[in-house]
Structure 1
Amino acid sequence: MFFLLTVVYFLKVCYSYQGPDVQTPLGSVRGVWKTSLQGNVYSSFEGIPYAKPPVGDLKFEEPVPIGPWQGIWEATKVYQCLQDGLVGAMGSEDCLYLNIYVPGKNVEQHKKLDVVVLIHGGAFMMGSGDMMLNSAFVMDQDHTIYISINYRLGLLGFLSTEDDEIPGNNGMKDQVVALKWVNDNIEYFGGNPNSITLTGMSAGAASVHLHYLSPLSKGLFQRGMSHSGTALNPWVIKENPLVFAKNLSASVGCPESPSKELKECIKRRPSNLLLEKSGIFKEYQQMPFSPFAVVIDGYSKNPFLPENPYQMLLKKKVADLPWLASMTRDEGIFPGAWYCDSWDEIDKNFIQKAHILLDYNHTLPEEIRENFATKIKDYYLGKGESLKEENSNKFYDLLTHRFFAIGVEDAIRLQSEANKSPVYYYYFNVDEGKSQIASFLCPHKEIKGVGHCDDIFYMYGFQLANIEPIKKLKSVFDKIIKSFVSGQYHLLKDNFNWWPSEGKYLTYLNITSDTDLNVQNIHTMVPEGIWDDLNNIEYDIKDIKDEL
Structure 2
Amino acid sequence: MELLGIFVAVAVLLEAVSAASLGVVYTEGGMVEGKNIRLGFRRHMDVFKGVPFADIPGRFEKPKRHPGWDGVLKANDYRERCLQVNMLMSDTRGSEDCLYLNIWVPHGRDVSTNLPVMVWIYGGGFLAGGSMGANFLSNFLYDGQEIADRGNVIVVTLGYRVGTLGFLSTGESDLPGNYGLWDQQAAIAWVHRNIRSFGGDPSNITLFGESAGGASVNFQTLTPHNKGMIRRAISQSGVALCPWGIIKNPRRIAEEVALKVNCPTDSRMAACLKMTDPALLTLAGKLHVQGSPDNPILQNLVLSAVVDGDFLPEEPSKLFHNAAEIDYIAGVNDMDGHLFTGMDIPTINSMVVDTPIEDLKRLLGAYTADKGKAGMEEAFNTYSSDWGAKPDRETIKKTAVAIGTDYIFLVPTQAALYMHANIATTGRTYSYLLSEPNRLGGLTTPYPRWMGCDHADDLQYVFGKPFATPLGYWPRHRYLSRYIIAYWTNFAKTGNPNQGDSEVPATWPEFKSDGHQYLEIHHNMDKSYVRQKMRMRYVHFWSSVLPSLPSLKTE
Q: TM-score, normalised by structure 1?
A: 0.81
Report Cα offsets for 1:411-464 as digits up to 9, x if no partner.
11111110132101122122355369x98xx65866721122323321114699
SS in 1 for 2:538: coil
Q: Verify: 1:503 aligned to 2:502, yes or no.
A: no
Distance verdict in 2 for CA 1:170–1:494, change over 3 Å = closer
Q: 2:266 aligns with which of 257, 271, 296?
A: 257
- Does the Cα contact within 8 Å between 2:84 and 2:92 map onto a contact in 1? yes
- Does the Cα contact within 8 Å between 2:82 and 2:161 map onto a contact in 1? yes
Partner amino acid, structure 2, of 1:401: D
Q: Verify: 1:288 aligned to 2:299, yes or no.
A: yes
Q: How does 1:261-410 map to 2 (within 5 A)?
A: 261-279=268-286, 284-285=291-292, 286-298=297-309, 303-313=310-320, 316-339=321-344, 341=346, 358=367, 364-365=369-370, 368-377=371-380, 379-380=382-383, 391-410=396-415
Identical columns (%): 27
Q: 1:134 aligns with which of 139, 143, 147?
A: 143
Residue range with higher mean Cα deviation, 505-514 or 99-108:
99-108
In the aligned structure 2, how far is the partner of 1:465 from the partner of 1:123? 27
Q: Verify: 1:190 aligned to 2:192, yes or no.
A: no
Q: 1:120 aligns with which of 119, 122, 132?
A: 122
Give the number of equivalent residue pairs. 500
Distance verdict in 2 for CA 1:333–1:284, change over 3 Å = closer
In the aligned structure 2, how far is the partner of 1:527 from the partner of 1:488? 30
- Does the Cα contact within 8 Å between 1:428 and 1:510 map onto a contact in 2? yes
Report Cα offsets for 1:166-213 as digits up to 9, x if no partner.
111111111110011101111111111111111111111111111221
Counterpart for residue 5 of structure 2: none
Distance verdict in 2 for CA 1:444–1:352, change over 3 Å = closer
Following TM superposition, by how much is the alpha carbon of 1:21 offset from its aligned partner in structure 2, in angstroms?
2.3
Report Cα offsets for 1:295-346 as digits up to 9, x if no partner.
1112xxxx11111122333xx3434211111222111113123356456898
Q: How does 1:175-214 map to 2 (within 5 A)?
A: 175-214=184-223
- Does the Cα contact within 8 Å between 2:487 and 2:504 map onto a contact in 1? no
Unaligned runs of 5+ in 2: 1-20, 134-140, 349-353
- Does the Cα contact within 8 Å between 1:405 and 1:526 map onto a contact in 2? no
Distance verdict in 2 for CA 1:350–1:116, change over 3 Å = same
SS in 2 for 1:126: coil
Q: 1:415 aligns with which of 402, 416, 420?
A: 420
In the aligned structure 2, how far is the partner of 1:384 from the partner of 1:142? 51
SS in 1 for 2:479: helix
In the aligned structure 2, how far is the partner of 1:416 from the partner of 1:90? 41
Partner amino acid, structure 1, of 2:63: P
Counterpart for residue 84 of structure 1: 85
In the aligned structure 2, how far is the partner of 1:449 from the partner of 1:30? 43
Q: How does 1:232-243 map to 2 (within 5 A)?
A: 232-243=241-252
- Does the Cα contact within 8 Å between 2:60 and 2:175 map onto a contact in 1? yes
Following TM superposition, by how much is the alpha carbon of 1:352 offset from its aligned partner in structure 2, in angstroms?
5.8
Following TM superposition, by how much is the alpha carbon of 1:513 offset from its aligned partner in structure 2, in angstroms?
2.5
In the aligned structure 2, how far is the partner of 1:197 from the partner of 1:257? 43
Distance verdict in 2 for CA 1:318–1:222, change over 3 Å = closer
- Does the Cα contact within 8 Å between 1:238 and 1:292 map onto a contact in 2? yes
Q: Verify: 1:93 aligned to 2:64, yes or no.
A: no
SS in 2 for 1:404: helix
- Does the Cα contact within 8 Å between 1:129 and 1:150 map onto a contact in 2? yes
Q: Verify: 1:231 aligned to 2:240, yes or no.
A: yes
Q: 2:542 aligns with which of 531, 536, 541?
A: 531
Report Cα offsets for 1:329-387 as digits up to 9, x if no partner.
1111131233564568987666566565x4x6xxx53xx43443344345435699999
Distance verdict in 2 for CA 1:90–1:503, change over 3 Å = same
Distance verdict in 2 for CA 1:94–1:275, change over 3 Å = same
- Does the Cα contact within 8 Å between 1:352 and 1:370 map onto a contact in 2? no
Counterpart for residue 479 of structure 2: 472
Unaligned runs of 5+ in 1: 1-17, 541-548
In the aligned structure 1, how far is the partner of 2:114 from the partner of 2:256? 50
Partner amino acid, structure 1, of 2:204: S
Report Cα offsets for 1:508-529 as digits up to 9, x if no partner.
1122334434322226444255
- Does the Cα contact within 8 Å between 1:434 and 1:449 map onto a contact in 2? no
Following TM superposition, by how much is the alpha carbon of 1:165 offset from its aligned partner in structure 2, in angstroms?
1.0
Counterpart for residue 60 of structure 2: 60
Counterpart for residue 543 of structure 1: none
Partner amino acid, structure 1, of 2:436: V
Counterpart for residue 12 of structure 1: none
SS in 2 for 1:123: coil
Partner amino acid, structure 2, of 1:188: S
Distance verdict in 2 for CA 1:199–1:224, change over 3 Å = same
Residue range with higher mean Cα deviation, 80-89 or 321-330:
80-89
Following TM superposition, by how much is the alpha carbon of 1:277 offset from its aligned partner in structure 2, in angstroms?
2.0
Distance verdict in 2 for CA 1:288–1:383, change over 3 Å = farther
Counterpart for residue 25 of structure 2: 22
Distance verdict in 2 for CA 1:125–1:494, change over 3 Å = closer
Following TM superposition, by how much is the alpha carbon of 1:284 offset from its aligned partner in structure 2, in angstroms?
4.0
SS in 2 for 1:325: strand
Partner amino acid, structure 1, of 2:515: Y
In the aligned structure 1, how far is the partner of 2:159 from the partner of 2:109? 26
- Does the Cα contact within 8 Å between 1:424 and 1:501 map onto a contact in 2? yes
Following TM superposition, by how much is the alpha carbon of 1:149 offset from its aligned partner in structure 2, in angstroms?
0.5
In the aligned structure 2, how far is the partner of 1:155 from the partner of 1:207? 17
Counterpart for residue 425 of structure 1: 431
In the aligned structure 2, how far is the partner of 1:37 from the partner of 1:477? 22
Following TM superposition, by how much is the alpha carbon of 1:65 offset from its aligned partner in structure 2, in angstroms?
1.7
In the aligned structure 2, how far is the partner of 1:138 from the partner of 1:338? 33
Q: TM-score, normalised by structure 2?
A: 0.80
- Does the Cα contact within 8 Å between 1:340 and 1:389 map onto a contact in 2? no
Q: 2:488 aligns with which of 481, 493, 504?
A: 481
- Does the Cα contact within 8 Å between 2:54 and 2:64 map onto a contact in 1? yes
In the aligned structure 1, how far is the partner of 2:73 from the partner of 2:32? 5
Q: 1:174 aligns with which of 178, 183, 192?
A: 183
Distance verdict in 2 for CA 1:253–1:231, change over 3 Å = same
Distance verdict in 2 for CA 1:391–1:304, change over 3 Å = same
Following TM superposition, by how much is the alpha carbon of 1:224 offset from its aligned partner in structure 2, in angstroms?
0.8
Q: 2:463 aligns with which of 447, 460, 464?
A: 460
**Pairwise CA RMSD:** 3.5
Following TM superposition, by how much is the alpha carbon of 1:49 offset from its aligned partner in structure 2, in angstroms?
1.1
